[in-house]
Amino acid sequence: MNYSMVRSLILKDWYFQRRAILLALAGGVLSLGVVALGGQAGFTIGLILLVTIMGLISAITVMGNTLGERENQTLAFTMSLPISHLEYTTSKILGNLLIFVPFWLTLVAGCMALIVVAPAIHGLFAFTVIMAVEILVGTCLMIAVALVTESKGWAISAMVTANLAINVVGYLVAHIPGIRNGMWGTAIQWRPAATISLLVEFALIALLLGGAFFIQSRKTDFI
Amino acid sequence: MHSGIVISQTDSRPMYLQIMEQVKQRVAVGDWAPGDEIPSIRQLAMDLRVSVITIKRAYLELEREGVIVTQHGKGSIIAPNPDLSARLYGEEFSEHVEKVAQLGDLLGLSSEEIARRTKEASSRLNEARLTKETV
Amino acid sequence: MNDLSVQFHGVSKRYPHFSLENIHLELPTGSIMGFIGANGAGKSTTIRILMGLVHQDAGTVQVLGHAMPANQAAAKLDIGFVSEDMRLYGQATLAWHMDFLRPIYPRWDQSYAESLARRFDLKPQQKIKGLSHGQRVKAALLLALARRPRLLVLDEPTTGLDPVARVEVLSELMAALADEERTILFSSHNTLDVEQISDQITFIDRGRIIDSDDKEAFLDRWRRLRLLLPPDVVLPRLPGVVDVGGSGRLPVLTTNRFEPAMVSVCNDLGATVQAVDTMTLEEIFVANVHSRREQLTA
């Protein structure tokens, strides 16, 4: 794997999406500011803002740099560079994740901080961690589908699925006995059920991204 | 090295023949003297935007006819042969005479008619030269 | 060092409505090959297989000594590719593209790139989306040439260019060949260009290579013989005749195996040879395709 080429490709994609990325970053800072204003209202609004921006930026960058190559017919130019499907796939996955993850980490850190600080919602710890990783799974789904299908239709379906999944999974997880008991309590607890849930989620991420690599390697028509 | 050769796209003859003819003409008028260096095959190919293989063929034929000499690894020069002009023109003249005979035959002209027409053409040429000289 | 820049052996690729069958191709280093075919004949598919962008279903492909598509990354380091359906990034400038490619290709020649920009009348600071079609083609060619590749693969490089731009491009392509280790493969509709600058020519039709030879050999082999047949004389049987046109007494034979001896043979048989016409590459191609298609339907 040619890491220097992967780096060039990622920087190239970021360059073309610099405005969206910068706006999203500004928005992220703004939402943190709103949270800092304090109070429950500040936190709720700030959080919603952050989640919205996260959703938007991942959709924009994934659609833009993955689907955009075929739409704008630049795929031939990119693939005529000294790379194989390996560098191409890596650059798209890594490039999109690297944009998304900072926002995601901020969200996770913010939620964790809040939960740890307020005894009344200590019980939400496990649930929140699981849901945060679930959002990451959703984004990986979107990246993988866009990359493998190169179709706007499928990519949008993946996006919708990921959004719906948050609700569905949230409901399901909240009803797992090991999680439900104690969710509304005042103690931070971590039961085996939580570990299993996390493992399932990470396995899904590995499946999605590994699957994307595998399918890309089997493609016989790159153009 | 600029060759000064110009290819005509409307000339229906194969390109290598055009090139050969122009090289021979430049030798005949004295532009390129015996022993002079001429552009290498690649240089001429680039200059004329013509494939290397065509130039190679032209040069091979020219060498076979004794017009040029290709020195291994050092490019080509005009052959050091003093009778070149006369011989080259002589070849061309013979070719054209054959063609005139063929065309005359196709037109159904007799040998006398063909000879007469040739003589007239020659006289016209002389007249034109005389008028130019007196002016 | 390999004598052949490109080698296709028994390459096939099957699509639902089209297939490439048994493609053999050999491109000697230092030469320039013109690839001629009708629309949909398979030129672009063959070129994409060469670049590793499409994987063949059968057969082997070697480019600059690398097996394709397995070693495509290594091969592409020495290849400059321009295709008709390729686009540069519209939002960026030509200068951005030059800066992007420069660290990638070890032989990138910045001063050559800049002089090409001047000669092609391109402003590096202009955004690609603001360029006309012809300018975009020249920009793509500039980027391919400036990396000083060992192999240039061009799919329709002069299509859509005005006559002046075409001459500029052809000059640059020929100039690139000054280095004897450099090879060019280009596909084109423009048979005049192909006829003029190619060393080798390959015809492709309906997914099959129908002829491949050195250009001078092509031009030598094909002739149109205009005959005058007296009433009692039968049409002579000559080798390689792919078409008989004209009228009964004035037949025109198109042959792909011409020998000067044929003229005397005809004359001996009583058929006067009025003219032996050379054929342009375009005429040869069309005759070749027609005769082949007739063979298939017969």
Domain-embedded: residue A223: no
At residue C1, the pLDDT reads 46
Across A45-59, A194-208, B80-94, C224-238, the highest mean pLDDT is recorded for: A194-208
In a domain, B9, yes or no: no
Do C4 and C52 form a contact (C-beta atoms < 8 A)?
A: no
**Would you state the pLDDT for residue A180?**
81
Whether A16 and C73 lie within 8 Å, measured CB to CB:
no
Report the SS3 class of residue B47. helix
pLDDT at B1 over 60: no
End-to-end CA distance of chain C: 46
Q: How far apart are CA A42 and CA A30, in angstroms?
A: 11
Question: Which chains have 3+ CB pairs within 8 A of B?
Answer: C
If one compares A175 and A77, the residue with the highest pLDDT of the two is A77
Predicted pLDDT at A122: 83
| Bridge partner residues of C251 (DSSP) | C246
C229: left (phi over 0), alpha (psi -120 to 50) or beta: beta
3-state class (DSSP) for residue C295: helix
Considering B39, B55, B78, which residue would you say is the last residue of a domain? B78
Residue B5 lies in a domain: no
Closest CA–CA distance from residue B128 to any residue of chain C (Å): 33
Return the residue in C104, C137, C141 with the most chain A beta carbons within 10 A, the one to mutate for interface testing. Answer: C104
Over 80: is that where the pLDDT of B87 sits? no
Q: Provide the domain count of chain A.
A: 1
Residue A88 lies in a domain: yes
The model's confidence at residue A97, banded by pLDDT at 50, 70 and 90, is very high
What is the distance between the alpha carbons of residues A204 and C77, in angstroms, rounded to a whole number?
36
**Confidence band, pLDDT 50/70/90 cuts, at residue B82:** low
Instruction: Report the run of H or E that residue C210 belongs to, with start and end.
Output: strand C208-214
Tokens encoding C200: 């080798």
Which residues of C are less than 8 Å from A222 in CB distance?
A: 52-54
Please report whether residue B2 resides in a domain: no
Whole-number pLDDT of residue A124: 84
Q: Examine residue B49 and state whether it is found in any structural domain, yes or no.
A: yes
**Phi/psi of residue C132, each to 5°?**
-75, 170
Domain ranges in chain C are 4-217, 223-278
Domain containing residue B57: CATH number: 1.10.10.10
The residue with tokens 């280009």 is C186
Record: contact C53-A223, CB cut-off 8 A: yes
Q: Are residues B74 and B111 in the same domain?
A: no
The range of the structural domain enclosing residue A187 comes to 3-218
| Same domain assignment for residues B88 and B74 | no
State whether ipTM is beyond 0.95.
no
- Pairwise CB contact (< 8 Å): A12 & C104: no
Question: Average pLDDT for residues A114-122, to the nearest whole number?
Answer: 81
* B67 belongs to a structural domain: yes
- Two structure tokens written together for C101: 């490619």
Q: Which long-range contacts (CB under 8 A, 24 or more apart) does C137-141 make?
A: C137/C82, C137/C161, C137/C165, C137/C169, C138/C165, C138/C168, C138/C169, C139/C88, C139/C94, C139/C97, C140/A77, C140/C82, C140/C86, C140/C88, C141/C82, C141/C169, C141/C172
When scoring B49, B55, B98 by the number of chain C Cβ atoms within 10 A, the one with the most, hence best to mutate, is B49
Which residue has 């049987």 as its token pair? C237
Number of domains in chain B: 2
Least Cα separation, residue C284 to chain B (angstroms): 14
Instruction: Give percent helix, percent strand, percent coil of chain B, each to the nearest 5.
Output: 60, 5, 30
pLDDT in tens, A124-171: 888 888 989 999 999 999 999 999 999 999 999 999 999 899 889 988
Can you list the residues of chain C whose pLDDT is less than 50? 1
Q: Which of A12, A84, A221 sits opposite C72 (nearest CB)?
A: A84
Place domain C4-217 in its CATH homologous superfamily.
Answer: P-loop containing nucleotide triphosphate hydrolases (3.40.50.300)
Q: Residue C298's pLDDT is what?
A: 66
Q: Which tokens belong to A64?
A: 């833009």
How many angstroms from the chain centroid is the CA of residue C291?
A: 20
Least confident of A15-19, A201-205, B11-15, C249-253: B11-15
Distance in angstroms between the alpha carbons of the first and the last residue of chain A: 21
Residues 6+ apart with CB under 8 A from C279: C219, C222, C223, C224, C254, C287
The pTM assigned to this predicted structure is 0.84
Q: What is the rounded CA–CA span in Å between residue C144 and residue C176?
A: 11
> Quick one: pLDDT at residue B86?
64
In sequence order, what are the residues at sequence separation of 6 or more whose Cβ sits closer than 8 angstroms to the Cβ of residue C53? A76, A79, A80, A221, A222, A223
Nearest C-alpha of chain B: how many angstroms from C62? 24
Angstrom CA distances, A142 to A108, A157, A202, A204, C283, stand at 20, 9, 15, 13, 54
Mean pLDDT, chain B, integer: 84
Beta-carbon contacts of A88 under 8 Å, excluding residues fewer than 6 positions away, are A9, A78, A79, A216
Residue B95 zone, left/alpha/beta (φ > 0; ψ -120 to 50; rest)? alpha
Helices (H), A150-191: 152-174, 177-180
> B with C: how many residue pairs have Cβ under 8 Å apart?
47
Contacts of C149 in chain A (CB under 8 A): none
Residue B53 lies in a domain: yes
* Residue C239: per-residue pLDDT: 85
| Averaged pLDDT of chain A | 89
Q: Which long-range contacts (CB under 8 A, 24 or more apart) does C160-166 make?
A: C160/C84, C160/C133, C160/C134, C161/C134, C161/C137, C162/C134, C165/C120, C165/C134, C165/C137, C165/C138, C166/C190, C166/C193
- Clarify whether residues B61 and B97 are in a common domain: no
Last residue within a domain, chosen from B37, B61, B78: B78
* Per-residue model confidence (pLDDT) at position A204: 96
Between CA C87 and CA A178 the distance in angstroms is 55
Same domain assignment for residues B97 and B114: yes
Burial (Cβ within 10 Å: 0-12, 13-18, ≥19) of residue B98: exposed
Domain containing B91 equals: 84-134
Considering only the beta carbons, identify the residue of C54, C77, C85 that sits closest to A220.
C54
